[in-house]
Structures are given as C-alpha cells and as structure tokens.
Amino acid sequence: MTRRETVRFVPDARRVITKPFVPREEEFADGSTRLQVMLGRIMAMSDQVATATLHGTRELFAGRHRDLDAVFERNFGHMEGRLGEAGIDPDELSTERRHLIGAYFTHEFSIQAAALGNPSIVPAPDQSGLAAGEVRFVMSLRAIGEGHLSSIEFRTGVIGVDAAVHVDTPSDFATTGQVTSDEHHKDLFATKLAELGMINEIEARVLSRLPDRFTMADLDVAIAALEDDGVEQSISIETTHVMYWLASSNYRTSFPSSIEISERVLFPSRPAESRGMEDARFVRFVDDDGTVTYFATYTAFDGHQILPQLIETADLVEFRMSTLRGSAARNKGIAIFPRRIDGRYVALGRHDNVNNFIMMSDDVRVWPEATIIQEPERPWELMQLGNCGSPLETDAGWLVITHGVGAMRRYTLGALLLDLDDPTRVIGHLAEPLLSPAADEREGYVPNVVYSCGSMIHAGHLVLPYGYADVGTKLATIPLDELLDRLSG
C-alpha cells in the first residue's frame, strides 16, 4: 500500500547564511577590549591594503550570497553604535571602509550541516500556470546546522494528477528575513508569565507601569523605573531577563516578495529560540468567511526550556510569531485543524508528553482545555504517542497521522480517523504501523526514527513527507481509499 518515492532531501553544508559576528566581551591588561583592538587593526590598514582585502573578500564570497555589499553595510550598522569605543567617527568613514568593517564583523553559518528533516507540506498560495489535476506545494523542513541549531527552510514543487511528485530546484542562496518587534497585550503577557510560574513582586511592579498595549521600549522604561523603587539591579536582573525572554518571543519576519520561497529561512532571532526553531507543523487554514491563513506551530528552544509558538502568514512573505497560551498549550506537537468546527478553533496536542489530545478554543493563540483521545495501546506505540501534523479532512472523517515510540525508542507512523463533527470521537485506528524505518533509513544522528510534521491529500493519495534518523527527508504516497478502508474496517 505504501510506496516510497525517489524524492529525497539530504543536508548540504554549502547552504549558508550570513550572521553578524560580535566578538566576545574580553578586556586586556591595558584596559582595551577585543572589539577596540579589532577596530584599531582595521583602521590601521592603508587604503591600498583595505581596498585589496575588501576586493578579495568579495571575490571569495559574492557567489554564495545575494548582494554581499548590502550584507556588509547591514552588519556595519550592527557595530556602528560601538565605534566610539575605539575613537572612530562613523561619519568620517568611506563606504569602502564601512564595508570592510562590516566584512570583519560577518560570518557564515551552515544552516543544514547536520540534518534536513521533520517536514510538513501544504498547497502553495499561488496555483497559477498548472495543468489540470496538478497542485503546487510548499514543504517546510527543519534544517539543523552548526551546534545542532534548528531553523525552518522551504521547498516547492508540483504533484501531478497521478500523484507523482516533482520538486523544484532550490535557489542558490539562503536569506534570513527582516525582523521587527510586535506589540504586546499586557493582560495576555501577564497570563503567560503566570502559566510559566514566573510572576513575583518585581514582575508585578514592572507590569503595573506598562500600558495595556506595550512595546519593548515601554518594557525598558518600566524596568529602569525599578531603581526608583530602590530595587537593586543585582536583585532584579534575573526577573527582568525572564520578561525580556518572553516579550521578545512575539515578533515579525518579512522577506522581499521577489526572492524564491526556497531562499527564505526562518532563523532563530530571539532569546527563547536561541537554540532552535523545531518541528514546524504548517496548515492551510480556511476561515468561515473564506479567508486563508497559513498557521504553523513550532517549538522554540533556548537550551533549557521550550516554548510553544505560533506562526501566521497569508503569503509566506511576512510571518508573525507569537507565544501560545493556556493550560493545554504546553510541550511539543500542537497541530491546528484546517478549519473551525462549530465556530471554534481545534487542534491536536500532547501536553502530557505521552497521550494524544483534542484542544478547542475561541482564540487560535489561547488553548485552555483538552480532551484525551488516544493512549498508548499497541506494542509499537507503548512508550508515547504524538501527531504528525494537522488532520486532513476526508468524507470518512478527519485523517490523523500519528507517531508512536516502541521498544528501543523506535519511532513508527500510524493513523487515526476522527469523527468530522466531533473530533474527540475516534472511529478508526490502525492496528499496525503505516510506515516504519526501512533498512536504509535506520542509521543517522538519531537511529530508528521516521517522523513527519504534516501531509496532504491529492489525486486520491496521501502524500506523506517524512524525516528519517534525523538525517534527511523522503516521501511516500499511499492510496487514500485503501488507508480509509483499513481505518474503517
């Protein structure tokens, strides 16, 4: 029944982005800092050496990045406010010297040096120019790079009338977006702090000084006012760090609409996700009025704590990231249904890290209640369960692809069928795995694992992309009628 396609995505260490390089805060015996010393060395270059160095750097790296001079100018901007520490007036610098400084404070980061997995797939916003029976898709992928840091990449392609999958050649470039902060609602912000167990007297004082809708600048002012209350920074710094950590998690990232989707990289840019943006579950959501929004949940990880986050985008050009709230919005693996049911948002969840739940809410960012729908029963899922992306609507019911963990922590994929009107009612459950690691899919960073974050239905087939062994991604197609027969029998 399950047919593995020849499509395969494997990590490519040549896939790189640019990041600002900020030297470690380090003070030498004479009182100078590493930053001052570096800037002094750059400024001590003769014009001839500076020109040759910049020209040579462009030759080495221009083919790897779109508009390298713009990168240098942007990263010079990151350092501009600190030039005074080295006695440098930025207004007196030539464009060439600005770009040279920018080049020294830039480095490359290989976004998929380790793995390219955990995919989800949705119909693309643009379906123009296709033959009858074809659909264009967008696939998200978890790219794991240096230091096991995860970001979100995209690929595009077309599924034909025969369910054959063609993948477009990705862009030669990888580009991060322009990040801007979002406004915050004080009541919602305070609620999330309380859910995290992070409300104390100092935070209460800061909250009392914030307007109902506040910005990061407002938060800065409210925190600075703690000194007026006689609160020493040594006492307040840990508390205020937590508030920054949470507030900065709500932001927007945008890209030029002219660049290909495969070039756009959602890269960690806030403290809560400093160690990765993991396992995005994208869904094409159609609201009751016909409005289409692409939602995705992902796990923000800072190396110590996880935070469930929501992505919203209408066009895959501008993305809004916000923190999910509510007692059920915990742990990993939240997946939103593609439409409302009885006027409410519905999602799959696993807030206890073991069982599958249905969550319902009037607000897509707030999930206060959950109903358990599946507990581990079969040997191949006895350790824990989870979902593999948003449910798919069929005439027979909501098709949910699941994952189960069995002996030796072997991950396999299964399936559930839920009632269309009451998704808390399970009407079908595969007795055997739908997909297990094949012989050539067992070895990798995490052996014996297959895992997906979202599939789609086209041409009478389930199109199921899946990651294997935390290395790469493959794709399987399954006749839908045969799968539904197994679930309904």
Whether residue 133 is found in the same domain as residue 88: no
In terms of domains, do 241 and 334 share one? no
Do 338 and 408 belong together in one domain?
yes
CB 437 within 8 A of CB 467: no
171 and 267 assigned to the same domain = yes
**Angle at CA 393, nearest 5°, toward 412 and 386?**
30
DSSP annotation of 266: B
In this prediction, residue 232 carries a pLDDT of: 74
Helices 34-44 and 95-104: angle between axes, nearest 10 degrees: 140
**Residue that terminates a domain, selected from 207, 230, 247:** 247
Long-range contacts of 191-195 (CB under 8 A, 24+ apart): 191/325, 192/246, 192/323, 192/325, 193/242, 193/243, 193/246, 195/325, 195/326, 195/327
CA 113 to chain CA centroid, nearest Å:
17
Q: What's the token pair of residue 372?
A: 């358990």
Question: Do residues 241 and 203 make contact, with C-beta atoms less than 8 angstroms apart?
Answer: no
Q: At what angle do helices 201-208 and 186-195 cross, to 10 degrees?
A: 170
| Conformation bin of residue 336: beta by default, left when phi > 0, alpha when psi is -120 to 50 | beta
Q: What is the pTM of this model?
A: 0.93
Angle at alpha carbon of residue 466, lines to 462 and 470, rounded to 5°: 175
Alpha-carbon separation of residue 230 from 44, 138, 222, 242, 326 (angstroms) = 46, 54, 14, 20, 34
pLDDT at residue 71, rounded to an integer: 95
**What pairs with residue 440 in β-bridges?**
none
In a domain, 16, yes or no: no
- The pLDDT assigned to 22 comes to 84
Please choose, from the candidates 342, 399, 331, the residue with its C-alpha nearest in 3D space to the C-alpha of residue 370.
331
- Is 211 in the same domain as 298? no
Is 242 within a domain?
A: yes
Q: Is residue 206 part of a domain?
A: yes
Cα–Cα distance for residue pair 376/1, rounded to 1 Å? 24
Specify whether 86 is located in the same domain as 147: no
Decide if 34 is inside a domain: yes
Residues 69 and 39 in one domain: yes
Q: Which domain holds residue 305?
A: 3-11+111-179+250-488
Type of residue at 281: R
Q: Phi then psi for 182, rounded to 5 degrees?
A: -110, 160
Please give the C-alpha separations between residue 8 and each of 150, 194, 435, in angstroms, as whole numbers: 19, 44, 16
Query: 276: helix, coil or strand?
Result: strand
Q: Is residue 17 part of a domain?
A: no
State whether 282 and 257 are in the same domain: yes
Which of residues 104, 129, 161 is at a domain's end?
104
Beta strand residue intervals within 128-188, DSSP E: 135-144, 150-159, 165-167, 175-176, 178-181, 184-185
| pLDDT at position 331 | 86
If asked whether residues 92 and 141 sit together in one domain, one would say no
On whether both 40 and 147 belong to a single domain, the answer is: no
Evaluate whether residue 92 is within a structural domain.
Answer: yes
Q: How far apart are CA 404 and CA 430, in angstroms?
A: 12
CA angle 186, 351, 353 (to 5 degrees): 145
Tell me what pLDDT residue 10 has: 95
What is the Rg, in whole angstroms, of the alpha carbon atoms belonging to the chain?
25
Identify the CATH number of the domain in which residue 120 sits.
2.115.10.20
**Please, which residues bridge with residue 252 across strands?**
180, 320
The reply to whether 257 falls in a domain is: yes
Residue 170 — φ and ψ, nearest 5°? -70, 160
Q: Out of 104, 129, 152, pick the residue that ends a domain.
A: 104
What is d(CA 446, CA 163) in angstroms, rounded to the nearest whole number? Answer: 30
For residues 282 and 228, membership in a common domain is answered with no
Residue 270 CA to residue 246 CA, distance in Å, equals 9
Q: Tens digit of pLDDT per residue, the chain (489 long)? A: 788 888 999 999 999 999 999 887 776 777 778 888 899 999 999 999 999 999 999 999 999 999 999 999 999 998 888 888 889 999 999 999 999 999 999 999 999 999 999 999 999 999 999 999 999 999 999 999 999 999 999 999 999 999 999 999 999 999 999 999 888 888 888 888 888 877 788 888 899 999 999 988 899 898 888 887 777 776 678 778 888 888 889 999 999 999 999 999 999 999 999 999 999 999 999 999 999 999 999 999 999 899 999 999 999 999 999 999 999 998 899 999 999 999 999 999 999 999 999 999 999 999 999 999 999 999 999 999 999 999 999 999 999 999 999 999 999 999 999 999 999 999 999 999 999 999 999 999 999 999 999 999 999 999 999 999 999 999 999 999 999 999 976
290 and 392 part of one domain: yes
Split into its structural domains, the chain has a count of 3
CA 75 to the chain's CA centroid: 24
